[in-house]
Amino acid sequence: MKSKDFFLQLGLIIFIAILNSCSSKDYTSSNIEKIFSTSIEPEEGDFLVAAEFKMWIPNNAKHIRAIIVHQHGCGRNGMSIPYDRHWRALAKKWDCALLGTYFIANDSCATWANPEYGSDKAYHKALKNIAKQSGFNELTNIPWLLWGHSGGAHWASTMLSKYPQKTVAAYLRSGGKDLSKNTINVPVIIDLGAGEENHPQFGRLWSRCVTNFENARKQQAIIALAVNPETAHDCGHSRLLAIPFFDACLSQRLPGIEDKNQTLKPMDVKKAWVGNNKTFEIRPFKGGNINTLNTSILPNEKVAKIWREYVQTGWVTDKTAPEKAPYNLEAEYISNSIVKISWEADADLESGIKQFYLYRDNEKIKEFIGPNDNFNKKNFQYGNFGDEPVPEALYENVNSWIPTSLVFFDYNLNPNKKYVYQIKMVNWSNLESAISEELMVKISDINSKEYAK
């Protein structure tokens, strides 16, 4: 009898595991998720073997205002980027599309990192294809923000020099080419890891990036240098600077939706601040020529303060709790003693999502970090070596990685008892959101198809 009970319990556990996996896949491909993919075959003369693109569009967006391009580095794969909830928060705020890429070439990245060898052409074809798939025809004409790491920074900087009039801002992590003169009015951050300076592999890259910064500042370019003291070539916590930087640039440069003139606006120098790259002192920018080689130009006071902490510690402390509580809580019948609770949440723009607190009848029953927590330092989601949301330990199997769904199974319940569920979101500075609205659940009143709240 005990053996029979054991196998029944084992079967139930396996059944739930399969359900959880299926729900994750369904969540990311359902109507809730506007995710569009396209593959571009190389043309004769291209150096690419293949080019893959995947784009997320905010569900409630009626018109896309810009594209956030997150360009992977050498040997990396950016197909997971559209599932990154932190980058999504920025995209959703400004009605932007979020684009991940995967460029493949015969030689690591020396060819695809040069847009002239086929990757620029593939990128524009991809935008055209996704515009047709999604119905957002403006994707082929709207501006973009360029984020790039290593070889991806080389690609992003070259695209910036080629299309300065279409670039809202650029964030170049550990790489990049010398910027052309026509880019001086486009805000840029060059981000390096201190461990790269004397590194046998990345030392020359360090020198080239510093020279690029100095050359740009000699032309009075709107550019900043950010050296992370805690990293080498890995991205570290760079998104804690990159996302607020892009947010500030979007606020100053995007034209209004109803404006007849849709040309990007110039940065507002009255809001600009400067930072000393040696002393880390910051102050308002008062115009005119300033010390070009040791001074970073930043879009506003908020970003200047973030920059100051980042270049001293490699981290940015978020002092505000998440603005929005988790929402759209739902319950689904699994068995007479098991219920599946699902919800939605928008990541904290400043510091993302560290975990969720789940409450049943006002008692915290779970610190939810998803199925990937064993690989992700006991946290919900954060950028890895290349700032992708895939835990680094799972990266070798990135194509089979399933994005974390906001789903929790509660067991051993009384089918005739009414339970009340609520959820809080916790950001990376351990600040909690307000608690969600209540979800009242009585298993005997629900079925496997729907639950009327």
Domains of the chain: 29-313 (3.40.50.1820), 321-445 (2.60.40.10)
Element (H, E) at 167: strand 167-173
Question: Predicted confidence band at 349 (pLDDT cuts at 50, 70, 90)?
Answer: very high
Among candidate residues 142, 153, 147, 143, the one with its CA nearest the CA of residue 115: 153
- Cα–Cα dist 353/351, whole Å: 7
Instruction: Give the amino acid at 312.
Output: Q
Lowest mean pLDDT among 93-107, 224-238, 286-300: 286-300
| Strand ranges, E, within 178-259 | 188-193, 223-228
- For residue 378, what pLDDT is reported? 60
How many angstroms separate the Cα of 386 from the Cα of each of 171, 233, 323, 391? 13, 9, 28, 10
CB 425 within 8 A of CB 322: yes
Lowest mean pLDDT among 238-242, 397-401, 441-445: 397-401
Strands 355-360 and 418-426: antiparallel
- For residue 261, what pLDDT is reported? 86
CB 177 within 8 A of CB 152: no
> Does residue 407 register a pLDDT over 90?
yes
Among candidate residues 371, 377, 355, the one with its CA nearest the CA of residue 403: 371
Per the document, the length of the chain is: 453
Element (H, E) at 273: strand 273-276
CB 149 within 8 A of CB 84: no
Q: Determine the average pLDDT of the residues in 280-297.
A: 84
Say what the pTM is: 0.90
Among candidate residues 397, 402, 396, 220, the one with its CA nearest the CA of residue 296: 220
- Cα–Cα dist 404/355, whole Å: 12
More confident residue, 294 or 432: 432
> Does residue 11 register a pLDDT over 50?
no
- For residue 17, what pLDDT is reported? 41
Among candidate residues 125, 119, 135, the one with its CA nearest the CA of residue 57: 135
21: which residues sit within 8 A by CB, 6+ positions away? 402
- For residue 117, what pLDDT is reported? 92
More confident residue, 258 or 19: 258
Question: Predicted confidence band at 393 (pLDDT cuts at 50, 70, 90)?
Answer: low
Q: Determine the average pLDDT of the residues in 332-344.
A: 95
> Does residue 25 register a pLDDT over 70?
no
Lowest mean pLDDT among 30-39, 87-96, 251-260, 392-401: 392-401
Report the chain's mean pLDDT, rounded to a whole number: 88
> Does residue 155 register a pLDDT over 80?
yes
- For residue 56, what pLDDT is reported? 98
- For residue 107, what pLDDT is reported? 76
392: which residues sit within 8 A by CB, 6+ positions away? 375, 384, 385
CB 86 within 8 A of CB 428: no
Count of alpha carbons within 13 angstroms of residue 263, beta-carbon side: 6
DSSP 3-state helix, strand, coil percentages of the chain (rounded to 5)?
Answer: 30, 25, 45
